[in-house]
Structure 1
Amino acid sequence: MESNTRAWWIYALFSAGFAALTTIFAKIGIENVNPNLATAIRTVVILVVAWGIVLFQGNVVNILAIPQKTMIFLLLSGLSTGLSWIFYFQALQAGKASLVAPIDKSSLVLVLLFSVIFLGESLSWKIILGTGLIFIGTLVLII
């Protein structure tokens, strides 16, 4: 169990690092490009990489075994991701990366609320305090 705890931390740290690079690269990359076109280009790259990994690992055969409910929620997640990227690139082209990214990451506050409401996850004082600090920090940046 301890190794799994460490594994998710490592993955989360890599995710944060690449998310930061994503914002910097995107801000530079959308300078003279329509944000929707930029999102489409980025999506093709992600599509190729993700399917390349699935094919390399031999997991494509598992696609038919995915339960319908799971597939529906994966599709809804994909739709939400796409809409998030479209609006993110619009905001990034119009605003400063140093302000757009923290506002985008304030979605963590919504994740906390949604995880309690829809997933039945419990709250601890650390989660409430940390989320409150994120919310306050976002307000400080935008005011």
Structure 2
Amino acid sequence: MKSVLSSWPFWALGSAAFAALTAIFAKVGVTGIGSDFATFIRTVVILGALALMLTLTGGWQGLGTVSPRSALFLVLSGLATGASWLCYFRALQLGDASRVAPVDKLSVVMVALFAALFLRETLTLIGWIGVGLIGTGAVLIATGL
């Protein structure tokens, strides 16, 4: 039997829970300071926490172990993450966390579309219905319809 710690749903639910806390903590944290500076502080904390985690687990690797292709896509991912965080913190500063976070989760819909277009991944009909429901739910929450 597979350990819960080696199960993707366990880690995905953890990600969702911490993302929810991120929205709540960030909404309070951006009060009275610039959203870009708040993003910087968050990034410094993340770098420190990851360095500690890598040290504790012995997970450090030499940069030579990363292929040029992987490096390119990790850099692009980092740039996209940074842009996402800057947008997210600005949105939290301007709007309600309970409305901003669902719109942010439209990324689920976009990932499904991009994965189908660029990675040739497929979803079942039920999967696409679920994607549609996520998109519809996010719009309903954000607009209050």
**Shorter-normalised TM range:** over 0.9
**Amino acid corresponding to residue 42 of structure 1 in structure 2:** R
Cα deviation, residue 57, structure 1: 2.2
Find the counterpart in structure 1 of residue 133 from structure 2.
Answer: 133
Q: Which residues of structure 2 form unaligned runs of 5+?
A: none
Normalised to the residue count of structure 2, the TM-score between the two structures is: 0.92
Percent of residue pairs identical: 45
Find the counterpart in structure 2 of residue 120 from structure 1.
Answer: 120
**Amino acid corresponding to residue 23 of structure 1 in structure 2:** A
Equivalences for 1:84-103 in 2 at 5 Å? 84-103=84-103
Cα deviation, residue 53, structure 1: 1.3
**Following superposition, which runs of at least 4 residues in structure 1 exceed 6 angstroms of deviation?**
none
Cα deviation, residue 51, structure 1: 1.7
Cα deviation, residue 34, structure 1: 0.5
Find the counterpart in structure 1 of residue 18 from structure 2.
Answer: 18
| Residues 85-137 of structure 1: per-residue CA shift (max 9 Å, x gap) | 00100000000001100000011111001001111101211210110001111
Find the counterpart in structure 1 of residue 104 from structure 2.
Answer: 104
**Amino acid corresponding to residue 123 of structure 2 in structure 1:** L
Q: Which residues of structure 1 form unaligned runs of 5+?
A: none
RMSD (Å) for aligned C-alpha atoms: 1.7
Higher share of residues assigned helix: 1
Q: Does the 8 A contact of 2:100 with 2:142 survive in 1?
A: no
Cα deviation, residue 5, structure 1: 9.5
